[in-house]
Amino acid sequence: MLTEQDYINAASILSVEVACVKAVAEVESTGSGFLADGSVKILFEPHIFWKELRAKGIDPNKHTKGNEDILYLQWGYRPYGKYSQQHGRLNRAKLIDEDAALASASWGAFQILGKYFYEAGYSNVKDFVADMNKGETQHLISFCKLVKYRNLDDELRNRLWEQFAEAYNGKGYKKNKYHIKLPAAYEKYST
């Protein structure tokens, strides 16, 4: 579990308020990077898996039968399901291609998509995933590296929530109301 000092250190690295870092953690993963059973919290994203397979020269169409819940072309096609169901979905995807599957899940307290392993400070997706399984401190360090790599610290510092949400969560950020949830969480932690 992250301590207050961990949040203070991260805020110092990013030159932002502690409330900004806490707000992102709360919105991305309800403030916890692990499930009750001790497994790292993930969200498997089938539309990313589709793209990752194609990037590797694997035709996703050849693997859709029986895998309609883990492999589809467009975001929002189907609900992702509960966090407790995500590891099972990931394990099925790994049978098709392990690296593409790992790259297609969002990991930990800050829900960093595996395909952004390099931006989060790792040389490959397997090292990133291994660290995500170790603890929330690694989640926070990876978040700081990703934010710095993408130059999103200004958006956090100036509380430009809509710009941060779009850059961090993608174009579908409005559907999930990230631009509304982030300032609400910030207000909670800034008082």
Does the structure show a pLDDT above 80 at 76? no
Name the burial class of residue 187, with classes exposed (0-12), middle (13-18) and buried (19+) by CB atoms within 10 angstroms of its CB.
Answer: exposed
Which tokens hold the place of 144?
């700081």
**Eight-state DSSP code of residue 39:** P
pLDDT band for 34, please (50, 70, 90 cuts): very high
- For the whole model, what pTM was predicted? 0.92
The pLDDT tens digits for 170-183 are: 988 999 899 999 99
Structure confidence by residue, pLDDT tens digits, 151-164 = 999 999 999 999 99
- In Å, what is the CA distance from 75 to each residue of 69, 78, 147, 171, 172? 12, 8, 24, 10, 8
Contact 75, 97 (CB under 8 A): no
Residue 107, amino acid? W
Domain boundaries, the chain: 4-34+127-190, 42-107
